[in-house]
Structure 1
């Protein structure tokens, strides 16, 4: 571990040299020793020390207290004051800057060491607490935004259902075709809400830790072929999924459940955002160390700005128009890929289509690892 850097601010040169010598003997690094408050502020910005030993009484327009206040505010660097004597008013000013300690001159080596170690440990504790509080605040804001968006997404189909139901109730002489339109809108809104709730529950399982990575032997070629047939059946005859594979994909060792979540979302999106009767491609490449899955379409594409936030909850591109969706599918995909220790990338151009590339490491069964260890 690198030794802590301590900046010495002392305008009496002999005292400064003595402090430097003691610090180096104790194992600390002294990147510089300066004699003025202004020089101290410049040096802190330059060398970013872990601690500053600051003489309260410094010659010049700015004293050590003013310099310490600036250093703590701008750089959050802890300061220990060095003082031989100070009146009550000066001590009160020093307290207001929240120093990490005082050392009264003359001092011995033990006092110096104890004061420095206490200050450094306090700084570590305060930094850890500050980071934890910032993370808690970020998490709280994320949860608030998440549920606000969820409420918004649920409210839209509920409003549609209510409006259609009221029209059906008020207009008793509606033409049959118009009545069917309202019923169809109600059904679509219910399906939308059901999909949203399912997505929320799945993401909740991931975030709560109940969705775990459980790899098992898998004939990946057969798995993909069957999944393509299922999704193809739902998509209908106007869109077709083309499946290609390469390598030995019959003896993979992956999590089938996480893989199903991943491919179902990617293939469904590819179909949903494709144009007319365009093709969707699923390419599978298997090696001993890695499985690569590529889902490609020639649909509407994703704008560059949307790609930066693609895997965040409720994020939908500006060009999706009236195509239904919750903005949670790709969030789920990313979580599933992360759980498997994999990576996901996207290549897309508006109007030219989108390609998602998922790379998953091959995980060997425990008994295979043991067998290899024994035989080796």
Structure 2
């Protein structure tokens, strides 16, 4: 691994020059050589070397071991000790400081090279282990957040179902028909919310296990969209209106029906959810010889710009959602389903003005059939 920067800390000038020469012969860079622990700390901060060769016996307030401990604590740079002799107490101190190597003077060039290369390999191995441990920790935390969020999101609709059922049971004979229908509607919407959450959770788990199947087949996209809009419109409040528009001939394209349902259902449901005052939601379908484009547009609360780059990360939600319920899993699922299609998604949004999600697919079988 020639070319790395090595700082030499040696208070015998003749010895220091010999070490510098040997290191350069081996192909390493020696940006500086210093004679004290205090000077070593200054040079390490200034040069950020890849490794330090440290004489244990140094003149001054800091010996080599104390200096090495400070370097390891402040900069996490590996240190190899150089020494001609040392008593038992010094050796024990040196071991406790966890050096990356130990060279007894006098030494030959081969020993120096091997010790340095072993130190560099050890540093790479430790770095890889740290990365693996951090990823494992992040995965563990993510799983914990996942199940905590899922349990929380299941609890809300279940509470609504239980409360409504109890009210109907205890006070149904005194309730008006309109109030009974209100409670029944709340139960139905809660069941649909649970069903949607179960579907999203199952699909995300399948994608993580690579079990999610991708089965593209010829679709009449106009009929598919009209059926989907009718289904969602039936489930949403009356103050939201979903408007479907079509451009081009969209009756024969190859997409996976199930994955497309997940994508558009999540985008349309979000458009409704984050338009709390109601209004119009637009689903635009555009079909050309080159691509299929789905565009979902709303005039809701919008998404802050600093949040948009993290939208498709699990459990990430915009900072302005307030008390609007949600898990942050919907757009993660959208991205995973799009990846299976090799599709793309673009987001345009402004706080208070609404959001537009544009999904693009390339449908090779549709194009080949038309030619």
Gaps of 5+ in 1: 369-376
Cα 1:193–1:258 change in 2 (3 A) is closer
Q: 1:70 to 1:109 in 2, by over 3 A?
A: same
- Tell me the residue number matched to 1:282: 284
Taking the aligned partners of 2:60 and 2:323, their CA distance within structure 1 comes to: 69
Q: TM-score under structure 2 normalisation?
A: 0.84
Mapping 1:296-307, distance limit 5 Å? 296-304=297-305, 306-307=307-308
RMSD: 3.1
Q: Aligned in 2, Cα 1:324/1:106: closer, same or farther, shift over 3 Å?
A: closer
* SS state at 1:302 partner: coil
Distance, in Å, in 2 between the alignment partners of 1:340 and 1:12 is: 67
Q: Which moves more between the two structures, 180-189 or 100-109?
A: 180-189
Residues 217 and 251 in structure 1, CA contact (< 8 A), matched pair in contact too: no
TM-score, structure 1 as length reference: 0.83
Are the counterparts in 1 of residues 65 and 94 from structure 2 also a CA contact under 8 Å?
Answer: yes
Query: Which shows bigger deviation, 276-285 or 84-93?
Result: 276-285
Q: Residue in 2 aligned with 1:162?
A: 162
| Alpha-carbon offset, residue 161 of structure 1 | 1.7
1:175-220: CA deviations, max 9, x gaps? 2423332222222221111111111111111111112566x5867x
Deviations 1:93-152 (A, max 9, x none): 111110011101111111111211211111111111111011101110111111111111
Q: Which moved more, 1:112-121 or 1:260-269?
A: 260-269
Residues 242-253 of structure 1 aligned to structure 2 (within 5 Å): 242-244=245-247
Worse-superposed segment, 36-45 or 277-286 = 277-286
Judged with a 3 Å threshold, the aligned counterparts in structure 2 of structure 1 residues 306 and 51 are, in CA distance, closer, same or farther, namely closer
- The answer to whether the aligner puts 1:350 opposite 2:351 as a matched pair is yes
> Within 2, Cα distance between the matches of 1:179 and 1:249?
43
Q: In 2, are the aligned partners of 1:280 and 1:298 still within 8 Å (CA)?
A: no
Runs of 5+ consecutive residues of structure 2 not aligned to the other structure: none
Aligned length: 358
Aligned partner of 1:58 in structure 2 is: 58
Residues 276 and 98 of structure 1, relative CA distance in 2, 3 Å threshold: closer
Indicate whether 1:239 and 2:242 are aligned.
Answer: yes
Partner of 1:371: none
Alignment-derived partner of residue 180 in structure 2? 179
Other-structure match for 1:104: 104
Aligned pairs (5 A) from 1:19-98: 19-98=19-98
Output aligned runs, 1:146-161, within 5 Å.
146-161=146-161
Give the Cα separation in 1 of the matches to 2:50 and 2:292.
46
